[in-house]
Amino acid sequence: MSNMKTVEVVYNTRERAGEKSPGKIYSEKLKVRRRREWRGLKDTLFDYSRWCYLMFGVLGKFILNPRNVKGFLRYRWMMSYLFVPHGMDKFTIGLRDEALRITHYAMNYVIADVTQAIHNCFRGDRRVGNDVAYSEKCCITDENSMVPFVMGFDKEKMHTILREVPTMFASNIFHQFNVMHYLDVAQQNGIPGDVCPMPEAEAGVSMDDDFCVLGACAVQNNTTCDGSLMGNGIIAKRLEKQYGIPTYQLATPLRHQEEDVIDYAVEQIKGAIAFIEEHTGEKWEWPVYFEAARRVNVATRCRNAQLEINSTPYPQFFGAVFSLYNDTNYMGNAGRDPYFEVLDKKLLKLAEQGYKEKRMYAKEYRHRAIVWGVQPQYVIDMLYWMVQCWGVVPLVDMLSVINKDMIAETDTPENREQAFRDMAMLNMQMIMRNHTHGGYKVLVDELWDLCEKMNADVVMMWEHMSCKALNGMHGMFEEQGRERGIHIMWVNHDLCDPRVFTRSAIRDQVNRYMRTVMREEPLDPSLEHIPDDEAY
């Protein structure tokens, strides 16, 4: 222990407004919280105003459309969206001031974006809205797909539908049990239980006939692992053979750090664009592309600035919402929605203000952690719990460590060629693939660089037990972490299946490490054991 790195403890000089121990609002009997947190008058009213916005401005507006009611009753995964406000509460535990505002503004827009995606799915769905003219201008893509190959299509004319995001990815955040049905369907049909439950659940949704069916074509991507290839195969077969939706396989090189793969990656992007043009009848427009590229650069600059703030003693924007916001903005949006530019700047302004005021999420920051590996969807509030309960600040997570470089944003003949290389680079370095593939340098070496740059003394290592890509490096992390004096806190989980590791089983791994290795007591004992295993 004496050789282990330590960081200076940072104390919060401000007393937290409202209640001090949010642990008492959890309930063993109810499947949701007993009540909402009292955050002092100002912050409670702000939280209430955002609740009103979600309830009436987003969800209420959505359900007033009869087509959406029909879709709601047709698809099992829609049940998760009954619990959106409960999901939002998971992210705001103990938050006040700028942190509360950043979390709400970022996550509320992610929720609004997913709601719009569901609305679009139902509009074109052959079984719900059956708007044929709309559907013929849609291209559906994977949940894990980076979408630079649609940056040059006018989004009012050609609609990109990330069909798996509302169906599986987001729905699991709001309702921890809702994916289990699809896992069971997949396993009843012979898919082994040890593949990643995310693509497995998506395959289960397809088998169970629970995907919306729309689109003139689809683009699938070899995203991150054997599981995603398996899932894509099953989904593509149904799309093509039963629904007659032609599907393009965007085969992206995995060794994305090697210069010699770029020509092949460019050919793949060009192929996807030509395929979409052929099937939707819409044309690629360079002014549209370069405007989107400019917005991608704004997002990159803002994200780099947020990470810069997080490397100081007063980090401002971190946790699952930072990750989910980046997922949505960087990967699902890729510069196409102008509002993200406004929001990026607003969030950065709030973070700068919080930094100036030395705002903190908890009363002490004892450890600074890099979060590596993939977070479980069903315990999405874990990082907020960790900082509130133990004072371990999650400075950044692996999924948010993405492209830091600018791409060409001016429309010139040379830049049109460069644009294909940029799109190929963005696609190869999509969230997940950029670290889980590309060799040990991006998975292992880059972690130590980050620890150095962000002055971290702990790596919280999510060990997703079905993720072979990461588990293969277990020994290397252990050995190199020991050499550098960095604490490696392993936390096992099974991504989407709470039957394998429950929420409390996951948190107990941190509790044990903090008590036995760090020899510390919790900052807030009311949070050490919270009875939410049965909660949504």
Non-local (6+) Cβ contacts of 516 within 8 A are: none
Distances (CA, A) of 506 to 51, 392, 528: 29, 16, 12
Contact criterion met (CB below 8 Å) for 376 and 492:
no
How many CB atoms lie under 10 A from the CB of residue 224?
Answer: 24
Both tokens of residue 381?
A: 């509030």
Residue 182 CB, nearest approach to other proteins (Å): 11
Q: Which is nearer to other proteins, 233 or 472 (CB)?
A: 233
How many CB atoms lie under 10 A from the CB of residue 34?
Answer: 11
How many CB atoms lie under 10 A from the CB of residue 425?
Answer: 18
Contact between 51 and other proteins by CB under 8 A: the answer reads: yes
Contact between 126 and other proteins by CB under 8 A: the answer reads: no
Contact between 31 and other proteins by CB under 8 A: the answer reads: yes
Both tokens of residue 262?
A: 């770029």
Of the listed pieces 96-104, 234-242, 352-360, 436-444, which binds other proteins according to CB under 8 A?
234-242
Both tokens of residue 423?
A: 């799109």
Contact criterion met (CB below 8 Å) for 524 and 388:
yes
Of the listed pieces 44-52, 138-146, 367-375, 461-469, which binds other proteins according to CB under 8 A?
44-52
Q: Which is nearer to other proteins, 207 or 362 (CB)?
A: 207
Contact between 290 and other proteins by CB under 8 A: the answer reads: no
Contact between 209 and other proteins by CB under 8 A: the answer reads: yes
User: What gap in Å lies between CA 205 and CA 195, rounded to an integer?
Assistant: 15
Of the listed pieces 8-16, 49-57, 160-168, 525-533, which binds other proteins according to CB under 8 A?
49-57
Contact between 416 and other proteins by CB under 8 A: the answer reads: no
Contact criterion met (CB below 8 Å) for 215 and 139:
yes
Contact between 233 and other proteins by CB under 8 A: the answer reads: no
Of the listed pieces 75-83, 155-163, 313-321, 432-440, which binds other proteins according to CB under 8 A?
75-83
Contact between 457 and other proteins by CB under 8 A: the answer reads: no
Contact between 35 and other proteins by CB under 8 A: the answer reads: yes
Of the listed pieces 80-88, 161-169, 412-420, 466-474, which binds other proteins according to CB under 8 A?
80-88
Look up residue 92 and give its amino acid.
T
**Site size for other proteins (CB under 8 A):** 32
Both tokens of residue 54?
A: 């979600």
Contact between 83 and other proteins by CB under 8 A: the answer reads: yes
User: What gap in Å lies between CA 120 and CA 340, rounded to an integer?
Assistant: 19
Contact between 52 and other proteins by CB under 8 A: the answer reads: yes
Look up residue 282 and give its amino acid.
E
Contact between 107 and other proteins by CB under 8 A: the answer reads: no
Q: Please state the separation of Cα 401 from the chain's center in Å.
A: 12
Q: Please state the separation of Cα 208 from the chain's center in Å.
A: 25
Contact criterion met (CB below 8 Å) for 256 and 428:
yes
Q: Which is nearer to other proteins, 22 or 152 (CB)?
A: 22
Largest Cα separation within the chain, whole Å, is: 68
Taking CB under 8 A as the criterion, the residue among 16, 33, 39, 256 binding other proteins is: 33
Q: Which is nearer to other proteins, 82 or 476 (CB)?
A: 82
Contact between 63 and other proteins by CB under 8 A: the answer reads: no
Taking CB under 8 A as the criterion, the residue among 6, 9, 14, 34 binding other proteins is: 34
Q: What burial class does residue 66 get, using C-beta atoms within 10 Å of its C-beta: 0-12 exposed, 13-18 middle, 19+ buried?
A: exposed
Taking CB under 8 A as the criterion, the residue among 76, 283, 294, 363 binding other proteins is: 76
Closest to 249 (Cα-Cα) out of 142, 342, 150: 142
Q: Which is nearer to other proteins, 166 or 394 (CB)?
A: 166
Residue 275 CB, nearest approach to other proteins (Å): 24
Contact between 206 and other proteins by CB under 8 A: the answer reads: yes
Residue whose pair of structure tokens reads 């005021």 in the numeric block: 357
Q: Which is nearer to other proteins, 86 or 283 (CB)?
A: 86
Q: Which is nearer to other proteins, 99 or 207 (CB)?
A: 207
Residue whose pair of structure tokens reads 């509030």 in the numeric block: 381
Q: Which is nearer to other proteins, 212 or 489 (CB)?
A: 212
- At 404, give phi and psi (nearest 5°): -110, -5
Taking CB under 8 A as the criterion, the residue among 4, 7, 32, 406 binding other proteins is: 32
Q: Which is nearer to other proteins, 411 or 534 (CB)?
A: 534
Sheet holding 392-397, edge to edge: 392-397, 367-372, 458-464, 487-493
Taking CB under 8 A as the criterion, the residue among 9, 41, 82, 274 binding other proteins is: 82
Radius of gyration of the CA atoms of the chain, in A: 22
Residue 175 CB, nearest approach to other proteins (Å): 8
Both tokens of residue 93?
A: 């535990």
Binding mask of the shown chain, residues 177 to 196, with x at each position contacting other proteins by CB under 8 A:
--------x---xx------
Q: Which is nearer to other proteins, 59 or 392 (CB)?
A: 59
Contact between 86 and other proteins by CB under 8 A: the answer reads: yes
Residue 71 CB, nearest approach to other proteins (Å): 13
Residue 85 CB, nearest approach to other proteins (Å): 6
User: Kind of pairing, strands 458-464 and 487-493?
Assistant: parallel
Both tokens of residue 442?
A: 């991006």
User: What gap in Å lies between CA 93 and CA 125, rounded to an integer?
Assistant: 37
Handedness of CA 77, 81, 86, 89 (dihedral sign): positive
> What does the binding site for other proteins look like in residue numbers (CB under 8 A)?
30-36, 38, 44, 48, 51-52, 55, 73-74, 76, 79, 82-83, 85-86, 185, 189-190, 206-209, 234, 238, 242, 536
